[in-house]
Amino acid sequence: MLTYPGVTSVFVNTIQTSGPFNWVEQGFPAFPTLKKAVLLNLPPILVYIHLAHFPWSQLTHLYLGNKFKLTFEESMPIFRQSTNLQRACVHYRPWQDTGHQVDFTQSNTISLPKLTDLTFLGDAPLGNFVNYGFAWPNLENLRLWQYPKRFWSDASKQLIRSTTRLHISTLELGGSSTLFTPCIKACPNLTHLVLEHTSTTYRELFQFLRWYRIGGNLPRLQFLSVYCNFSVGHDVHVDWDLDEKLIQMLESRSPGHAPDLGCAVLKRFLLRVSPGELSDPIAKRAARALEEFEDVMDVALVRGDALSVHQFPPGGLDHWDRGLGQFLDGLWAYGKD
């Protein structure tokens, strides 16, 4: 077995059979000082046969996925060993209901105490169709790149309670904000919220985010970015009072009202609209509503397309410090202080 004692970051595409190694047949060399790994197209067989000696416990950064995307069950042995992870990005295969309930209730807890940044590309295994066994008490940044189709269990809500930054991007939400509000409400300490491709009635969303004297949702929210998809699964008459709800939400979180109402001031609000929808009557009404707050808050109607959930990451994958990390950080570009 070859050994690379000085390597701290590795990028491996196991589908490539040309070059000095065929990873599937020959297995991985030893990386005794490895800290960051991007493992592309990882067949499950490698997990069980060739990667037994892989330094999982040393890893601080890990990406798994792409063509041979693992299932949730197949990734469990990896995370059980990767106890020092700080950042993780996984791309699971779409979950299919086969009638077989995966049960991890008898498994020991998989504790990832240092994990602060987690991204799910593809289906996120955070519904009630699995029992977790995970514990990541210090998770801060959570990105759901496509929303789980299942209902939210109490276990999944508790699992993400520490999250302060949440980014949801999906094309499959239907027409009601109630499909993803359980996820938002499960993160009461959110300071940053980014919603993209969430085809919904935005009046419901803004009403949900309005703060009242007797309370409301997300008392610490300081940044909010919403990509409005007016033309998808949406009737113009549904949001006839969108501007009214938007004004009420912004007013409740404005410097003149938020301190008295008991919530944080919303420092920045971005409403993203594609160039083709700038002339939409709803977009025009929303723009006029934002104008009322320009002197007291950082609000803006941003012209530009949202990031595509089908392009992750644009330009291809590379080492964490040369492509992947920048891509993940860029998902928060709308919310940087």
Report CA-CA distances (Å) from 318 to 146, 297, 331.
Answer: 22, 39, 17
Which tokens go with 116? 């602060």
pLDDT in tens, 143-179: 887 665 555 677 778 888 999 999 887 755 444 556 6
pLDDT digit string (tens) for the chain, length 337 residues = 678 889 999 888 776 544 555 555 566 778 899 999 988 877 766 666 656 778 899 999 999 887 666 777 778 888 888 999 999 998 877 655 444 445 545 456 788 999 999 988 776 666 544 555 778 899 999 988 766 555 567 777 888 899 999 988 775 544 455 666 778 888 999 999 988 866 567 788 899 999 998 889 999 999 999 887 766 544 444 556 788 999 999 999 999 999 999 999 999 999 888 777 777 777 888 899 999 999 999 999 887 665 554 455 555 667 888 878 887 887 765 543 3
Q: Which residue has the tokens 């938020």?
A: 258
User: How many other C-beta atoms are found inside a 10 Å radius of the C-beta of residue 335?
Assistant: 19
Residue 273 is inside which H or E element, if any?
strand 268-273
Give the span between the Cα atoms of 51 and 124, in whole angstroms.
24
Which tokens go with 318? 């590379």
Q: Any idea what the Cα angle at residue 109 is, between residues 106 and 112, rounded to 5°? A: 155
Instruction: For residue 313, say if its preceding peptide bond is cis, omega within 30 degrees of 0.
Output: yes
Give the span between the Cα atoms of 104 and 74, in whole angstroms.
13
CA-atom Rg of the chain in angstroms: 22
DSSP state of 108: P
Which tokens go with 24? 């599937």
pLDDT in tens, 255-296: 999 999 999 999 999 988 877 777 777 788 889 999 999 999
The pairing of beta strand 87-92 with beta strand 141-145: unpaired
